[in-house]
A and B are shown apart, each in its own frame.
Chain A
Amino acid sequence: MTTLHMLSHSPFSDSRLSSCLRLLGPGDGLLLCGDAVYALQPGSAQCQALELMPESIGLFALDEDLSARAIAGPQRLQAVDYPGMVELSCRFDKVNSWL
């Protein structure tokens, strides 16, 4: 079963992203919301790690959080709005939020 992992903490002061990256399975998705979009900060090790994830892993971010922080994200990133977030939660078999 595929999992959409949701993160909302900044990865610079928190271990959720690194723990999540180790747990990701092929075909899983990673949705960044809130301060977690800082992981897409260009030039950061975190952004590099996200770009190096296998192709089969979908990388998504909530569009309002990207615009609020003026972050564009790498090529492979797909920005989604709330309806898009709902669609993602239907697309993957389950949603795992890293609370």
Chain B
Amino acid sequence: MSKSLLIISRQPPWSGPTAREALDIALAGGAFDLPIGMLFLDDGVFQLSTAQQPATLQQKDLGANLQALPMFGVEALYASTRSLQERGLERQKLNLAVELLDDAGLTALVARYDQVITL
């Protein structure tokens, strides 16, 4: 049985390649049919904000690439309620279907996975 891997993505969409490189780990795992989960925490929740205009920074649209997650079989997607609230995003529509978790939910989530990478 495959080991499950949780990727915790904490960076905003365009602070260097980290957000994209976290996503790449998830997509690669999905491509190999591995049990992958992805949690958006702290500034990582900014990746979920809609109506972003990456082209003005000559960046690729990370939000569009996030849509590939379910297509690669990565459907265990989560975001921290606290992180969203701290950033005034709790009432906004998000660009990805994620399960919202409070702190206790996050603790339980991390405990469930066999491996974790936080970047």
Inside 8 A of B41's CB, which chain A residues have their CB?
Answer: 19
Task: Rank and list the top 7 A-B pairs by shortest CB-CB distance, nearest first.
Answer: A96-B116, A99-B119, A25-B107, A22-B103, A98-B118, A25-B111, A23-B106
A50 at interface by CB-CB < 8 Å: no
Against B, the Cβ 8 Å flags (1 = close, 0 = not) of A1-44 are 11100000000000100010011110000000000000000000
Considering only residues 43-79 of chain A, those with a C-beta below 8 Å from chain B are none
A15, A24, A94, most chain B CB atoms within 10 A: A94
Are the C-beta atoms of B111 and A1 separated by less than 8 Å?
yes
Give the shortest distance, in Å, between A97 (CB) and chain B (any CB): 7
| Contact in complex: A94, B42 (CB < 8 Å) | no
B3 to chain A, nearest CB (A): 9
Tell me the bound Cα distance from A97 to B82 in angstroms.
Answer: 21
Partner among A15, A19, A24, A94 whose Cβ is within 8 Å of the Cβ of B116: A94
Give the total of A residues in contact with B, Cβ under 8 Å.
Answer: 15
Instruction: Give the total of B residues in contact with A, Cβ under 8 Å.
Output: 19
27 contacts between A and B (CB under 8 A): A1-B111, A1-B112, A1-B113, A1-B114, A2-B111, A3-B110, A3-B116, A15-B42, A19-B41, A22-B82, A22-B103, A22-B107, A23-B103, A23-B106, A23-B107, A23-B110, A25-B108, A93-B114, A94-B113, A94-B114, A96-B8, A96-B110, A96-B117, A97-B118, A98-B118, A99-B117, A99-B118
Contact yes or no, B42 A25, CB < 8 A: no
B67 neighbours in A (Cβ, 8 Å): none
Which B residues are in CB contact (< 8 Å) with A99? Answer: 117-119
In the assembled complex, the Cα of A70 lies from the Cα of B42 at a distance in Å of 31
Which of these, B82, B108, B112, B118, contacts A96 with CB under 8 Å? B118
A97 to B118, CA, bound (A): 6
Q: Does B65 contact A (CB under 8 A)?
A: no
Minimal Cβ-Cβ distance residue in B for A1: B111
